[in-house]
Amino acid sequence: MTLRIFDTGTRTLREFQPVQPGHASVYLCGATPQSSPHIGHVRSAVAFDILRRWLMAKGLDVAFVRNVTDIDDKILTKASENGRPWWEWVSTYEREFTWTYNTLDVLPPSTEPRATGHVTQMIEYMQRLIDNGFAYAVDGSVYFDVAAWSKAEGSDYGSLSGNRVEDMEQGEPDNFGKRGPQDFALWKAAKPGEPSWPTPWGDGRPGWHLECSAMATYYLGEQFDIHCGGLDLQFPHHENEIAQAHAAGDKFANYWMHNHWVTMAGEKMSKSLGNVLAVPEMLKQVRPVELRYYLGSAHYRSVLEYSESALSEAAVGYRRIESFLERVGDVEVGEWTPGFEAAMDEDIAVPKALAEIHNAVREGNAALDKGDREAAEKLASSVRAMTGVLGFDPVEWGSDAGADGKAEKALDVLISSELERRATARAEKNWAVADEVRDRLADAGIEVVDTADGATWKLQ
């Protein structure tokens, strides 16, 4: 089967044909470490980690670049407000992002470049744009000339976001001397007290959009396969990346993939709205593997609406898979089902892929109940193959869990047994026994959470 990707640039499903046969090159807009990561940030990391794992499973050698924007207005503002050096501030939160990625088993990138380490490449990029007539310097700043590029042959400015050029005013703070309201900063002239780097046009610091164009092409070449990022980056960030790259003469990305948001009560999760759920807080409710399962469970282009019940239901779903593999015992990784492959090849359709996994789990449990161990083991090996692609093979997670993980696993087995006794009592309308189980668990600091798929638990 052949992988098809929904390309945001063309708004069509396109067959994936890598620039270099046998290889795949992917650039993901990574973190701007201004504060602690929330699950909205991590969803993007998990979604494109699944993409990467599937490309690898298909036999491709994957170069995966995920950048860090380690200098920008928000970082400088927050560091100043808290009386900390900007470099210390960004390093503190960069470590939190790294811890989060590692905790959820997001594979390390092939390289993780930082903006401040690539000023040389940015200077070269700006010089190319100036030489081509699509950028200009004013008082130490350098701007991209949107009007000049929009009139140029081959210009496709606005095609990614669908915006009209005349509507794309970019009200950046450093807009003095701009020729037009649509122009955006490639380089921002130094301000008193701010960090700066020397360039032929004056000391200053990078513009946000320039960073990614320079780093993506430096590591992956002037033409590469896939550029990924959150839906909110389509404009202005990705639109401006394309403009810079094409105006400089680079072909840039062949495919654009954008993940949708995590929302709460219909609103995009963001720090400005105050509806942030930090990962450490989430991990008080569920295990890391269960949080990964939840964040990866929706199609990457669909909204993931957060609620405690949805998180609990995801945990229950994962534990069904885990429990089946525990019933079977040791099995090797086998082959995924044709249905799983078809789902993943159709724009990484994880919900359909999960349906294949849960179908195999149901069939496997039924086989065990009938005493057909051979069939159950074959299904279990298939489940391991499929969950491995999605990054939550229970056997792998269990083997890496250590003493704490084993203790939690043992606790889960004991509590699950109590929950089964409570479910039986409720089915028989024996409310006294059902309440007695719930109360005893509550006394032990364990809260029972009833969901549409049955009861689960969390520590109070």
pLDDT at 195: 96
Residue position matching structure tokens 């639109």: 239
Q: Which domains, ranges and CATH numbers included, belong to the chain? A: 4-259 (3.40.50.620), 401-460 (no CATH)
- What are the C-alpha distances in Å from 120 to residues 72, 75, 117, 262? 18, 22, 8, 36
Residues 292 and 397: their CA atoms lie apart, in Å, by 11
pLDDT at 439: 85
- DSSP reduced 3-state for 104: coil
> What is the per-residue DSSP string for 354-374?
HHHHHHHHHHHHHHHHHT-HH
Residues 245 and 166: their CA atoms lie apart, in Å, by 21
Residues 84 and 67: their CA atoms lie apart, in Å, by 23
Strand partners for 282: none
Classify strands 262-264 and 304-305 as parallel, antiparallel or unpaired: parallel
DSSP 283: T
Residues 129 and 196: their CA atoms lie apart, in Å, by 21
- In this structure, what are the phi and psi dihedrals at residue 280, rounded to the nearest 5 degrees? -55, -35
* Selection from 444, 423, 445, 448 nearest residue 434 by Cα: 423
* Selection from 315, 260, 266 nearest residue 286 by Cα: 315
- In this structure, what are the phi and psi dihedrals at residue 157, rounded to the nearest 5 degrees? -65, 125
Residues 214 and 76: their CA atoms lie apart, in Å, by 22
Order across the sheet with 141-144: list the strands.
Answer: 135-138, 141-144, 184-189, 204-206
Dihedral of alpha carbons 241, 5, 41, 402, sign: negative
pLDDT at 276: 66
pLDDT at 387: 98
* Selection from 328, 419, 341 nearest residue 380 by Cα: 328
Give the orientation angle of helix 338-345 with respect to helix 373-390, to 10 degrees.
10
Q: Where are the beta strands (DSSP E) in 156-294?
A: 184-189, 204-206, 223-230, 252-259, 262-264, 267-268
Pair of tokens at residue 92? 């503190």
pLDDT at 441: 83
On whether the CB atoms of residues 149 and 180 are closer than 8 A, the answer is no
Classify strands 135-138 and 61-66 as parallel, antiparallel or unpaired: unpaired
Pair of tokens at residue 371? 């005493």
Residues 138 and 176: their CA atoms lie apart, in Å, by 8
pLDDT at 173: 47
The DSSP H or E segment spanning 165 is none
- Report mean pLDDT in 10-residue bins for the chain, 460 residues: 94 98 97 92 96 98 98 94 96 95 97 97 98 96 96 91 79 68 94 95 95 97 98 94 96 97 79 71 93 98 93 96 96 97 98 98 97 97 98 88 50 73 83 84 80 70
